[in-house]
């Protein structure tokens, strides 16, 4: 076979491939369908459970069986995504209306994950069976081939209410994401009814029924006036607070009790909230907290914060709103697949898409039911007619040689070959004109149907069938009748499964937190060689001075209202509020500097640390590994930003020394290869912090500055070099930018 090479532009191939991939993720995986509110994986799990017969009135089945069957038949994208979808559909703290009844550990609101699928069991809830899957046998939706075309799966489930609103949805696709909050089933049902009765209804009028989101965790939505704009555009931010109650505690203390949390706090953020509250106390943002306890259980959330007797409770609650996630935002982006493409929809558009879907489903349902009733009517009329001439029918059956001859007589009146008892019977038989369906029913009819009561029942069934035909024709011919049927189904669902609203909707004033000014006091900053830092009382430092200086790399006094400046080898300056540094006892471990600043311990090392107040009074000498140096006025480091560049570095260079200039007379640079250069500090020029500086010492190609020493007048300067003592005072003084003297010991 001759090889055929197709030449094409690489960028075009990449663009087309990426667009195909993006659309596959958007349509087939990440975004819900506006009609049933389900992503493909959710729809496939529910349909597979329906097919396996794992219904609400039957025993639970292992989740692993459900996941495996779904993956093998419909969703070949790995078991973890399928099980995760199954788990979420069981969690009542994430879904306004859970769809799957889980048995076993399916996680909890505090972020603990579900047990492995081999340990848990599941079955459908009754509402899922009735409102999502009950009409699949009536050909109300299209079925499409699965991934390998060995099975058929529904393109959409015939859901009887706007599940997209009731359960909401979250998903990240390629270049877009959806975030739809859950709503109250009863309110949504009433809004759908209002839309069906008046398709010109406005979003504002729909919001008379749907007050706003109804989160399963409750909480308080505080920007009620902004909801109309959010529901008209499909995008915006909903501000939500947890529910806070005040209770009397022991010994006159006050307990602040959090009984509902903001929806975004579900999961690990509850633990983060407790840590944030504890941090407020540790960093002295508040001194009102006596104790924090998480008393949550299956009955619900209960987080208790015990306050001191004289605490300003309102101010403390406002601080929680400001400083923690007790007040949070839910970003709304009502994006879903509508008419085969992703679309950001308003509240009315979502309801309209679902209502149109309901009409389509109802039209197909009742058209199929009507066809079945008409078939039943045809057969019933044939049987009634046959009973009226039963003697003739029996004569035809007895006189026929085979079934085909009898059927031909019943349908077409062919009497050739049939033996009749009389000429009258033959004449009457020739006039028969049953339909094929009627003839088949007559031929299959059992003799007990000839009993009087059975015949009466047949006549009653025919009357019922005629009533059904009239009803179905009325539903299909008159839109008002179809609306009434859909409304009746909505009312039945609402009555059976709706629950009272959990989330309060109101306009609340912005939380105003007046931060109490801390009483200024002198503390001592300690940081050990591992980067653990803390502050202690001056008196505690005085009692443990020797141990403090022996065990810590950086020790200096500072004000608790000030800042600490951390200089690193990469030339960065990280500033930390002293208030953010834990204050405690001398033997406390402290916290890593990484936790309270932008310092990255994996990429940086601390070169120096100072009180920002002291820097304002002095100048700083910088020396780098490549021998660059400069003096910088300490006032340049009086910055509010957490991280700034402290100096400019050449490629491959790093800061090895940063010291305060204070009475040093001479500087001694020691290189890795053993060269020493001593010269006056006055030779180092003063530069700006964004300057590289000047060269202090000429170095060999692979040589680097390793240590920097300073001498002061009237003091001895001895160092240990190669395990021997070296007197820096005896080194010959030279000029800056020299090669230095190689010291041999």
With residue 591 as reference, give the H or E element that holds it: strand 591-592
Give per-residue burial for 167-188: e unless 16+ CB within 10 Å, then b: bbbbbebeebebbbbbbbbbbb
**% helix, strand, coil for the chain, step of 5:** 40, 25, 40
Torsion, CA 495, CA 497, CA 500, CA 504, rounded to 10? -130
**E-strand spans in 105-253?**
121-124, 143-145, 152-154, 169-172, 177-180, 220-221, 235-241, 243-248
Residue of 350, 353, 334 whose CA lies nearest to 236: 334
**Catalytic pick among 18, 56, 119, 470:** 119
**CA atoms of 50 and 72, how far apart (whole Å):** 16
Show the tokens assigned to 448: 């007990």
**CA atoms of 118 and 64, how far apart (whole Å):** 5
**CA atoms of 497 and 161, how far apart (whole Å):** 12
Show the tokens assigned to 23: 């659309």
Is the CB of residue 637 less than 8 Å from the CB of residue 619?
no
Residue of 692, 676, 700 whose CA lies nearest to 622: 692
**CA atoms of 286 and 118, how far apart (whole Å):** 47
| List of residues 6+ apart from 647 with CB closer than 8 A | 571, 622, 624, 630, 632, 655, 689, 690, 691, 692, 693
Residue of 104, 121, 27 whose CA lies nearest to 65: 121
Show the tokens assigned to 112: 């603990």
What is the sign of the dihedral through the CA atoms of 620, 626, 627 and 629? negative
Residue 119 catalytic? yes
Residue of 669, 645, 639 whose CA lies nearest to 656: 669
Interior CA angle at 314 toward 313 and 319, to 5°?
A: 95
- Cβ-based burial of 327 (10 A; exposed 0-12, middle 13-18, buried ≥19): buried
Length of the chain: 745
Helix, strand, or coil (residue 456): helix
With residue 720 as reference, give the H or E element that holds it: strand 718-721
Show the tokens assigned to 690: 């964004």
What is the sign of the dihedral through the CA atoms of 626, 631, 633 and 634? positive
Is the CB of residue 213 less than 8 Å from the CB of residue 503?
yes
> What residues act catalytically?
119
């Amino acid at each position: 076979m001759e090889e055929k090479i197709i030449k094409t532009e690489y960028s075009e191939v990449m663009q087309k491939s990426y667009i195909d991939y993006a659309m596959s993720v958007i349509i087939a995986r990440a975004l819900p369908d506006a009609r049933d509110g389900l992503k493909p994986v959710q729809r496939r799990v529910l349909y597979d459970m329906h097919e396996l017969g794992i219904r609400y009135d039957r025993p639970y089945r292992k989740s692993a069986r459900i996941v495996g069957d779904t993956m093998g038949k419909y969703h070949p994208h790995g078991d973890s995504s399928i099980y995760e979808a199954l788990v979420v559909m069981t969690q009542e703290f994430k879904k306004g209306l859970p769809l799957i009844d889980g048995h076993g550990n399916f996680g909890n609101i505090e972020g603990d994950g579900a047990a492995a699928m081999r340990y848990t069991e599941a079955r459908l809830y009754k509402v899922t069976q009735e409102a999502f899957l009950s009409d699949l046998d009536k050909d109300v939706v299209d079925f499409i081939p699965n991934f390998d075309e060995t099975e058929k799966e529904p393109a959409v489930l015939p859901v009887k209410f706007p599940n997209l609103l009731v359960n909401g949805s979250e998903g990240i696709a390629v270049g877009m994401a959806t975030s739809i909050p859950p709503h109250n089933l009863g309110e949504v049902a009433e809004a759908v009814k209002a839309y069906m009765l008046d398709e010109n209804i406005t979003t504002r009028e729909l919001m008379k029924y749907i007050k706003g989101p109804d989160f399963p965790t409750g909480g308080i939505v505080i920007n009620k006036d902004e909801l109309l704009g959010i529901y008209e555009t499909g995008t915006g931010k909903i501000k939500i607070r947890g529910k806070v109650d005040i209770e009397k505690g022991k010994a006159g203390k006050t307990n602040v009790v959090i009984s509902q949390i903001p929806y975004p706090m579900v999961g690990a953020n509850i633990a983060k909230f407790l840590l944030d509250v504890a941090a407020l106390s540790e960093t002295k943002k508040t001194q009102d907290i006596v104790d924090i306890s998480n008393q949550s259980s299956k009955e619900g959330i209960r987080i208790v914060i015990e306050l001191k007797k004289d605490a300003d409770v309102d101010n403390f609650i406002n601080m929680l709103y400001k400083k923690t996630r007790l007040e949070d935002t839910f970003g709304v982006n009502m994006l879903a697949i509508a008419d085969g493409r992703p679309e950001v929809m308003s509240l009315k558009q979502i309801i309209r898409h679902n209502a149109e879907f309901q009409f389509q489903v109802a039209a197909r349902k009742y058209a199929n039911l009507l066809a079945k009733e008409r078939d039943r009517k045809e057969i019933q009329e044939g049987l009634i007619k046959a009973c009226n001439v039963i003697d003739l029918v029996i004569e035809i059956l007895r006189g026929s040689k085979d079934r085909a001859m009898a059927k031909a007589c019943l349908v077409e009146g062919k009497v050739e070959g049939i033996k009749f008892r009389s000429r009258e019977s033959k004449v009457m038989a020739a006039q028969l004109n049953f339909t094929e369906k009627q003839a088949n029913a007559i031929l299959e009819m059992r003799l007990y149907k000839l009993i009087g009561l059975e015949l009466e029942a047949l006549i009653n069934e025919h009357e019922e069938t005629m009533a059904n035909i009239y009803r179905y024709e009325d539903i299909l011919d008159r839109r008002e009748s179809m609306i009434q049927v859909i409304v009746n189904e909505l009312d039945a669902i609402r009555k059976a499964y709706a629950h009272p609203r959990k989330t309060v909707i109101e306009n609340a004033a912005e939380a105003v937190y007046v931060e109490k000014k801390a009483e200024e006091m002198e503390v001592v900053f300690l940081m050990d060689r591992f980067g653990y830092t803390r502050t202690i009382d001056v008196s505690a430092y005085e009692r443990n001075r020797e141990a403090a200086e022996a065990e810590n790399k950086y020790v200096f006094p500072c004000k608790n209202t000030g800042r600490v400046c951390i200089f690193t080898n990469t030339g960065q300056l990280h500033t930390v509020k002293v208030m953010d540094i834990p204050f405690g006892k001398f033997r406390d471990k402290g916290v890593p500097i990484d936790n309270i600043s932008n310092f990255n311990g994996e990429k940086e090392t601390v070169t120096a640390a100072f009180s920002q107040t002291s820097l304002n009074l002095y100048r700083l000498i910088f020396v780098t590994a490549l021998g660059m140096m400069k003096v910088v006025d300490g006032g340049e480091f009086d910055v509010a930003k957490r991280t700034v560049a402290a100096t400019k570095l050449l490629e491959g260079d790093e800061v090895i020394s940063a010291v305060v200039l204070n009475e040093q007379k001479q500087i001694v640079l020691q290189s890795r290869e053993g060269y020493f250069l001593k010269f006056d500090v006055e030779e180092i020029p003063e530069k700006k912090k964004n300057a590289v500086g000047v060269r202090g010492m000429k170095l060999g190609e692979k040589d680097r500055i390793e240590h920097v020493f300073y001498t002061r007048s009237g003091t001895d300067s001895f160092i240990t070099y190669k395990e021997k003592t070296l007197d820096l005072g005896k080194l010959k003084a030279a000029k800056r930018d020299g090669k230095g003297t190689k010291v041999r010991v």
